[in-house]
């Protein structure tokens, strides 16, 4: 390792986190949400996100994917490989993302249809 990699590794190992050799992570958010949110009553916006994320939570349970957090309209979830193969974790996450797209397409906000942008990463991570 280079000196810079050593510094980074030492910082990471001193954290209270745990290194995972391989996991699959999905970040999803609503396209155009910020602009639309400025035109909708805040309580309706919160109710919409609650409804949408409850649907996402249900699919996560079905796919054995762990919801990590939501931040505004962003939804983060992880498929761990501790109890399944890398391929299985990746397939479950892709299936989840597809279902999230379908759910979003059927739930307009204030009469406006929305679409979902989802990014998936597979590899090593540090959690904690």
36 vs 63: CA distance, rounded Å = 30
pLDDT (tens digit per residue) in 29-88: 999 888 888 899 999 999 999 999 999 999 999 999 999 999 999 999 999 998 899 999
Give pLDDT, residue 36: 85
Instruction: Enter the tokens of residue 128.
Output: 């904690």
78 vs 81: CA distance, rounded Å = 10
Give pLDDT, residue 16: 65
Helix, strand, or coil (residue 25): strand
pLDDT (tens digit per residue) in 93-120: 999 999 999 999 999 988 888 999 999 9
């Amino acid at each position: 390792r280079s000196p810079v990699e050593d510094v980074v590794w030492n910082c990471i190992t001193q954290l209270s986190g745990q290194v995972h050799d391989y996991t699959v992570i999905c970040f999803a958010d609503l396209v155009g949400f910020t602009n639309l949110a400025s035109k909708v009553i805040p309580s309706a916006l919160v109710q919409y996100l609650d409804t949408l994320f409850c649907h996402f939570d249900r699919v996560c349970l079905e796919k054995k994917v762990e919801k990590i957090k939501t931040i505004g309209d962003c939804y983060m979830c992880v498929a761990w490989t501790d109890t399944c193969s890398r391929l299985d974790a990746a397939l479950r996450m892709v299936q989840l993302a597809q279902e999230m797209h379908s759910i979003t397409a059927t739930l307009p906000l204030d009469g406006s249809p929305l679409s979902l942008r989802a990014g998936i990463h597979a590899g090593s991570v540090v959690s904690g």
